[in-house]
């Protein structure tokens, strides 16, 4: 169900501003893409046409970027956290040796003895922590991951299977962030988080650049096809939608393109920030089924881009999530879509049931919508319990 819609009156009509280029530039994305595309098992993920659904709801086309197979981790987060770990290792080696360190030498194992002394850490709902643990294992450093009380045992085990130490804390995601920050300061560990805040912005920038490997792939996959008129982006802390928004804003100069941010009604920190026109935290008192979107505190950098780059913000309830997951799993083309993965599609379907909102957002028979299937079955037990109900 569509719970709330807010149009952002502060959306900028101009080109991508210089002040935001200190957060994210196409050049940053190019560097990230050139590195990540060299990693073992890198493959471009599919861009799937959901033309039957598009016809049913009354729009021209839906493209769905399916991240369920990314690096075998089942989530787009594999692009960000892993790249953030690599950039930290490069930085700390250069500080230790007082010279430029080539990333190729990190990958080759030349500095493995030095790297093994370092520890990276983060707080997670599951996918980001798994990405950081994957990066630590890939490049050879230690890793400690903090999860909150509602993170499933399956997601805990998936992180632990990558040789990370996993610590479960009482409270919600924001509490796990707080404890992670405290412990990292005490132990001189490096936080690799996509949640940025005052005094911590360096590695979130790299992570956001890594996420845009998806955007680079999409641009290549679209080829000569008409580009999207609308992009629906899952909210979370705002780093993912901010990154994608910034990429398309700079590359296509806002030409007939609308950005719609989708959040859970239980964690509406971005829509509340938009309504107040300032970064705003909200208490998460009820956990959404969309675990990856259960975030009450916006990312500083993500919000900087979204505050003037997003056109609309919506919140949705959990009630349609299972049925859409089941539909995608049982129809052609088969898509393995996790709970957070279908948020954009659910938001789109619900908007098209409300012609007033659809008109306000500019959705109609000529619309081409890009969606991001951000995760697959990151917890197979939960996923199977949903689609087999």
> What are the tokens at 7?
């149009």
Q: Which domains are present in the chain?
A: 2-75+208-387 (3.40.50.1100), 77-199 (3.40.50.1100)
Nearest C-alpha neighbor of 175 from the set 263, 294, 288, 310: 294
Polymer length in residues for the chain: 389
Q: CA 265 to CA 319: how far, in whole Å?
A: 11
Catalytic annotation present for 77 = yes
The pairing of beta strand 190-191 with beta strand 165-169: unpaired
Residue 13 has pLDDT above 90, yes or no: no
Q: What is the DSSP string of 140-190?
A: T-EEEEEEETTS-HHHHHHHHTTT-EEEEESS-HHHHHHHHHHHHHHHTPE
Residue 336 has pLDDT above 90, yes or no: yes
What is residue 173's predicted lDDT score, i.e. its pLDDT? 82
Confidence of residue 229 (pLDDT cuts 50, 70, 90): very high
Instruction: Write the pLDDT tens digit of every residue in 127-177.
Output: 999 999 999 999 999 999 999 998 999 999 999 999 999 999 999 888 998
- Is the distance from CB of 58 to CB of 359 less than 8 angstroms? no
Residue 104 has pLDDT above 80, yes or no: yes
Which residues sit opposite 345 in a β-bridge? none
Catalytic annotation present for 272 = no
Nearest C-alpha neighbor of 246 from the set 63, 16, 31: 16
With pLDDT > 70 as the criterion, what percentage of the chain qualifies? 100
- Residues whose CB is less than 8 angstroms from the CB of residue 126 and which lie 6 or more positions away in sequence, other chains included: 147, 151, 152, 155, 158, 159, 291, 292, 378, 379
The pairing of beta strand 368-373 with beta strand 230-234: parallel
What is residue 301's predicted lDDT score, i.e. its pLDDT? 98
What is residue 57's predicted lDDT score, i.e. its pLDDT? 99
User: Cα angle vertex 77, ends 50, 193, to 5°?
Assistant: 145
Site of tokens 């405290």:
182
Q: What is the DSSP string of 374-385?
A: -BS-SSHHHHHH
Neighbour count for residue 253 (Cβ, 10 Å): 11
Q: CA 198 to CA 76: how far, in whole Å?
A: 25
What is residue 174's predicted lDDT score, i.e. its pLDDT? 81
Distance in angstroms between the alpha carbons of the first and the last residue of the chain: 20
What is residue 5's predicted lDDT score, i.e. its pLDDT? 99
Q: What is the DSSP string of 90-144?
A: HHHHHHHHTS---HHHHHHTTTHHHHTT-EEEEEESSHHHHHHHHHHHHHT-EEE
Q: CA 379 to CA 157: how far, in whole Å?
A: 9
Set 28, 66, 77, 379: catalytic member: 77
Neighbour count for residue 19 (Cβ, 10 Å): 9
| pTM (two decimals) | 0.96
Across residues 2-23, what is the average pLDDT?
A: 96
Set 66, 125, 311, 312: catalytic member: 125
Across residues 179-206, what is the average pLDDT?
A: 95
Nearest C-alpha neighbor of 162 from the set 137, 126, 127, 145: 137
The upper half-sphere exposure of residue 117, i.e. CA atoms within 13 Å in the direction of its Cβ, equals: 7
37 phi and psi, to 5 degrees? -70, -5
The runs of H, that is alpha helices, within 212-262 are: 213-222, 239-252
Residue 256 has pLDDT above 90, yes or no: no
Please give the distance of CA 200 from its chain centroid, rounded to a whole number.
18
Please give the distance of CA 76 from its chain centroid, rounded to a whole number.
6
Nearest C-alpha neighbor of 40 from the set 126, 119, 139: 139
Instruction: Write the pLDDT tens digit of every residue in 289-307.
Output: 999 999 999 999 999 999 9
With pLDDT > 90 as the criterion, what percentage of the chain qualifies? 94
Which residues sit opposite 66 in a β-bridge? 373
Average pLDDT, the chain: 96
Across residues 346-360, what is the average pLDDT?
A: 98
């Amino acid at each position: 169900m569509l719970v709330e819609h807010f149009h952002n009156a502060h959306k900028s009509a101009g080109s991508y501003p210089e002040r935001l280029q200190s957060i994210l530039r196409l050049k940053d994305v190019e560097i990230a893409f050139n590195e990540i595309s060299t990693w073992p098992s890198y493959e471009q993920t599919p861009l799937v046409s959901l033309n039957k659904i598009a016809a049913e709801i009354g729009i021209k086309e839906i493209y769905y970027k399916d991240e369920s197979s990314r690096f075998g981790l089942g989530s787009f987060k594999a692009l960000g956290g892993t790249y953030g770990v690599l950039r930290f290792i490069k930085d700390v080696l250069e500080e230790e040796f007082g010279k430029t360190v080539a990333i190729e030498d990190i990958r080759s194992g030349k500095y493995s003895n030095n790297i093994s002394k370092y520890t990276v850490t983060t707080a997670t709902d599951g996918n980001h922590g798994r990405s950081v643990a994957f990066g630590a294992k890939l490049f050879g450093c230690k890793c400690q991951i903090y999860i909150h009380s509602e993170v499933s045992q399956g997601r805990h085990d998936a992180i632990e299977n990558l040789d990370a130490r996993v610590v479960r804390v009482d409270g919600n995601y924001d509490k796990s962030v707080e404890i992670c920050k405290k412990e990292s300061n005490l132990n001189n560990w490096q936080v690799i988080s996509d949640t940025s805040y005052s005094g911590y912005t360096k590695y979130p920038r790299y992570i956001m650049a890594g996420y845009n490997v998806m955007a680079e792939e999409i641009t290549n996959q679209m080829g000569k096809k008409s580009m999207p008129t609308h992009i629906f982006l899952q909210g979370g802390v705002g780093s993912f939608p901010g990154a994608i928004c910034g990429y398309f804003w700079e590359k296509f100069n806002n030409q007939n393109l609308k950005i719609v941010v989708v959040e859970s009604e239980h964690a509406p920190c971005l829509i509340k920030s938009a309504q107040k026109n300032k970064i705003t935290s909200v208490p998460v008192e009820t956990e959404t089924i969309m675990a990856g979107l259960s975030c009450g505190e916006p990312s500083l950098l993500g919000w900087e881009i979204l505050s003037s780059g997003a056109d609309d913000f919506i919140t949705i309830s959990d009630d349609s999530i299972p049925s859409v997951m089941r539909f995608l799993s049982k129809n052609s083309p088969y898509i393995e879509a996790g709970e957070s993965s279908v948020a954009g599609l659910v938001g789109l379907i619900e908007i098209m049931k409300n012609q007033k909102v659809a008109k306000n957002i500019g959705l109609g028979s000529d619309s081409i919508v890009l969606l991001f299937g951000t995760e697959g079955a990151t917890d197979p037990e939960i996923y199977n319990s949903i689609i087999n109900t």
